[in-house]
Structure 1
Amino acid sequence: MRPQKVLDNEVFSALTKVFRAKGFEGASLKEIADATGLKKASLYHRFPDGKKQMAEAVFSYLDEWVQQNIFQTLKNTNLSPTERLDKSLFYINELYNNGAESCVFRTLSMKAGMELFGDLITNGMKQWIHHFEILGLAFGKPELEAKQNAIQNLIDIQGSLIVSEGLKDLDVFKNTLQQIKNRYKIE
């Protein structure tokens, strides 16, 4: 068997860039092939179910990264709550390239994407809320406040990515991460 010329991580990274930029409906097979360095036949060999399977692979790839870096950090009881918050915000900033990258929740939640990936999007958002809720409880917040803060964090992150892109001002995202940090300051 011939070794693969393009490694899986390179493929997943390229797929992620295309789907972040174009969404499910807007991403053409030509753009995907160009980005991955694979011919269409090779793409279909790796992803027999086509573009839908490619998008699912992106969800899986990003979910694994978020689980390992952000969620594990948010629930790591070997770190103080402040360290957990700081480290997770560092990883969130890395995930979204300082606010320059769109979130796949947004780009894949357009009409066809929501029909195909609605459960994955809903589950992903629930995980973000759950793990930020764990952090809030670690900071000693009452359960309701921890949940409300967790939901607000997700709204703030997602909203700031859209506004940063629309205004072409990455400081919006940077300032939002600081506001999230301030939300947990002990008074």
Structure 2
Amino acid sequence: MARPQTIEDDALIARLSGVFRDAGYKGASLGLLAEGCGLQKASLYHRFPGGKQQMAEEVIAAALDWYEVNIFAPLRGEGTPRERLAAVGQALTAFYADGRKACLLNMLAAPPEADGPFAAAIRGAFTAIIDAFCDLAREAGHDEAQARARATRVVMLLHGSLVLSRGLGSSEPFHAFLASLPGALIEG
């Protein structure tokens, strides 16, 4: 008879995500992943026969699912563009722990000279994020070129604010990003 799982799949993916966010893909050894999940290495391999790569792939998939529910759907949803952007700001605050958590996509990205195992998924994720913000900017009255430029800038500002927040040990850069979000994307 199979042994019962000691940790549910969603909780396991969340813990793996935390390790990858902190250590990156290369830095996340199997030992570190097991420790972060509270499991033995053998238990991780049992759950993820594809090893660390499968773990990272499932973490990326879960993050994209989260983005669909908490970012993309609200951006397409009911309310004014400003109201929808406020809801997205709250979701980003939760996802990035008020600016204290690193961007998972960045931490799993390969060095620029390499095309790592997740490069296509990461490019697709960033493109989807930019597209979603671009659609809202267009809805707010900006033409395609302006909307795309604004959306790209917003994604750059978001990720820059995460780097600064972690580097400075302060949520202030992230808060400044959130405060600037309506002006950067939909106003003016």
Aligned partner of 1:24 in structure 2 is: 25
Return the letter of the residue paired with 2:19.
V
- Offset at 1:141? 1.3
Output the CA distance in 2 between the equivalents of 1:38 and 1:169.
32
| Residue pair 1:108, 1:114 contacting (<8 A) in 2 also | no
Q: Normalized against structure 1, the TM-score is what?
A: 0.94
Number of matched residues? 186
Output the CA distance in 1 between the equivalents of 2:114 and 2:5.
29
| Residue pair 1:25, 1:113 contacting (<8 A) in 2 also | no
Aligned partner of 2:91 in structure 1 is: 91
- Offset at 1:116? 1.2
Return the letter of the residue paired with 1:95.
F
Output the CA distance in 2 between the equivalents of 1:155 and 1:82.
20
Output the CA distance in 2 between the equivalents of 1:109 and 1:5.
30
| Residue pair 2:154, 2:184 contacting (<8 A) in 1 also | no
1:63-78 correspondence to structure 2 within 5 Å: 63-76=64-77, 78=78
Aligned structure 1 segments of 4 or more residues deviating by more than 6 angstroms: none
| Residue pair 1:99, 1:173 contacting (<8 A) in 2 also | yes
- Offset at 1:168? 1.6
Aligned partner of 1:15 in structure 2 is: 16
1:40-119 correspondence to structure 2 within 5 Å: 40-76=41-77, 78-111=78-111, 114-119=115-120
Q: Normalized against structure 2, the TM-score is what?
A: 0.93
User: What secondary structure does 1:133 align onto?
Assistant: helix
| Residue pair 1:15, 1:54 contacting (<8 A) in 2 also | yes
- Offset at 1:26? 0.2
Q: What are the superposed Cα offsets for residues 58-86 of structure 1, whole Å, 9 maximum, x if unpaired? A: 1011111111011101111x222111111
Output the CA distance in 2 between the equivalents of 1:113 and 1:101.
25
Return 1-10 or 40-49, whichever deviates more.
Answer: 1-10
Output the CA distance in 2 between the equivalents of 1:47 and 1:114.
23
Report the identity percentage: 33
Q: What are the superposed Cα offsets for residues 105-146 of structure 1, whole Å, 9 maximum, x if unpaired? A: 211114398511110110000000000011101211111111
- Offset at 1:27? 0.6
Q: Which runs of 5+ in 2 are unaligned?
A: none
User: What secondary structure does 2:162 align onto?
Assistant: helix
| Residue pair 2:81, 2:186 contacting (<8 A) in 1 also | no
Return the letter of the residue paired with 2:35.
D
| Residue pair 1:164, 1:171 contacting (<8 A) in 2 also | yes
Structural RMSD (CA)? 1.6
Aligned partner of 1:125 in structure 2 is: 126
- Offset at 1:182? 2.3
| Residue pair 1:20, 1:107 contacting (<8 A) in 2 also | yes
